[in-house]
Amino acid sequence: MHFKHYTLTEGSIWKGMLLFALPIFLGNVFQQLYNAFDAWCVGYFINDDALAAVSSSGSLIFMMVSFFQGLAMGAGVVIARAFGAKQYETMSKAIHTAIIFGLVTGVVLTVLGVALTPTILQWMGTPNDVLPQSISYFRYYFLGAIFVVMYNIFVGILHAVGDSRHPLYYLIISTFVNIGLDLLFVGVLGMDVGSAAVATTISQGVSALLCFIHLLRIDGPYQVKLKEISFDRKSLLDIIKYGLPSGVQNSVIAFANVVVQSNINSFGKAAMAGCGSYSKLEGFAFLPVTCFTQALSTFVGQNLGAGHHDRVKKGVGFGIACSCLMAELIGVLSYLFAPQLIGLFSDTEKAIDYGVRHMQTICLFYCLLAFSHCIAGIMRGAGKATVPMFTMLACWCIIRVSYITLAVKIVNELTTVSWAYPITWTLSSIIFLIYFLKADWIHNFDRMKKA
């Protein structure tokens, strides 16, 4: 397999960014499809208790996985900047270090996830009639956590060198594997909710294995060689330097979302099912945000590595505008069709009502979420991840948890919990906008290259 140059440092900015972002977008669509299909399958073939068990999984899974995903982002920054500067030896060391680092952290996450699942679910206030199925689902899911970590590492490598197409191909394959296994385990064999997690674990293993095989076979400077998979001290320190702020940022946000989920759980299993159904739909709504955030990180990293600062400035404006406009369009459509969308997952009137109220409170503010994530992606690509880390730590964790702790005691309604997201997205967007408009902000790119 021959190496193809996927650099984003040359040619049309808008065309290059869109061609890079589109496969990420489509890949995330397929990933959300098989996440959503788990929820639909157990809700349709089993019952609403099973739906609540699966649908409430997002915040817990994200809390356990997000720290390691942030470290994978750090590896991507190191690789992208070396790739843009054509420092292929440095890039190769970073790639092989990232892989062994991923293996070690993947094992740690698997052990922690399996061991701590019951404790965390009980701490979250999961109702007793849902708890056994939740524990079963989560434990089977975390048995495959190493596949999640390794997949993120492999995709981070490919995205860093501008290749977003191959991860898309492998996600499509794994999506069909997951859907087929869900139907077989739950629909045909009548197995319990844990089998849906087994299907997800197998499909994640398939996508990780396909990415790894591709990296072994590619003929180019980012080819993986088994004998070179080892720790390089400088590469490891760089990965931690750029990745640790993102990992901490993800973890504290995830912790705050677990607090939100705990408050949702207090309204009972109908609220868990309805709001959990929204969380599956929310994954689709956030696709423009995630794909342009990843595109901006890679674009900024490669072009700063190559010293193309004017190109960075132009690409930043284009990426932010596209992400915010697309996110808000999806938000409006979500608001208008909320009853029909939530109804795809449950036919229980109370669950649908909870889900619709939760969705319509949040979805018109998606543009603010997009703006915050884009600025975070830009700074991450520039190797300056501490700015978004502290901003999101303050707004999306401390203020969000404080708001919920106080507000729910005053107005004990689901919409009070739902407003935690728009309020904190607004605050972070204001801070990022002030930072973005500072006269010397853009000029900092020149100094970032030397950092």
pLDDT digits (tens, 9 = 90+) for 99-118: 999 999 889 888 888 888 88
pLDDT computed for residue 397 by the predictor? 85
pLDDT computed for residue 450 by the predictor? 45
pLDDT computed for residue 53 by the predictor? 66
Q: Position 231: which residue type?
A: F
3-state secondary structure of 214: helix
pLDDT computed for residue 2 by the predictor? 44
Closest to 7 measured CA to CA, from 220, 251, 288, 316? 220
Q: Position 117: which residue type?
A: T
Q: Which residue has the tokens 């991923």?
A: 102
pLDDT computed for residue 99 by the predictor? 94
Q: Which parts of the chain sit beneath pLDDT 50?
A: 1-5, 439, 448-451
pLDDT computed for residue 364 by the predictor? 94
> Rounded to whole angstroms, how far apart are CA atoms 411 and 407?
6
- Between the CA of residue 451 and those of 88, 303, 404, 438, 445, what are the distances in Å? 19, 15, 39, 20, 10
> Rounded to whole angstroms, how far apart are CA atoms 152 and 160?
12
Write the CB contacts of 218 (distance below 8 Å, at least 6 apart in sequence): 1, 3
> Rounded to whole angstroms, how far apart are CA atoms 82 and 306?
9
3-state secondary structure of 330: helix
> Rounded to whole angstroms, how far apart are CA atoms 7 and 163?
9
DSSP code of residue 2: B
Closest to 243 measured CA to CA, from 349, 101, 110? 101
Q: Is 437 buried (19+), middle (13-18) or exposed (0-12) by CB count in 10 A?
A: exposed
Length of the chain: 451
pLDDT tens digits, 431-446: 998 887 774 555 555 5
pLDDT computed for residue 449 by the predictor? 46
Q: Is 190 buried (19+), middle (13-18) or exposed (0-12) by CB count in 10 A?
A: exposed
Cα of 211 vs its chain's centroid, Å? 18
CB 289 within 8 A of CB 373: yes
pLDDT computed for residue 239 by the predictor? 87
Q: Position 130: which residue type?
A: V
- Find residue 219's DSSP bridge partners: 2
pLDDT computed for residue 19 by the predictor? 81
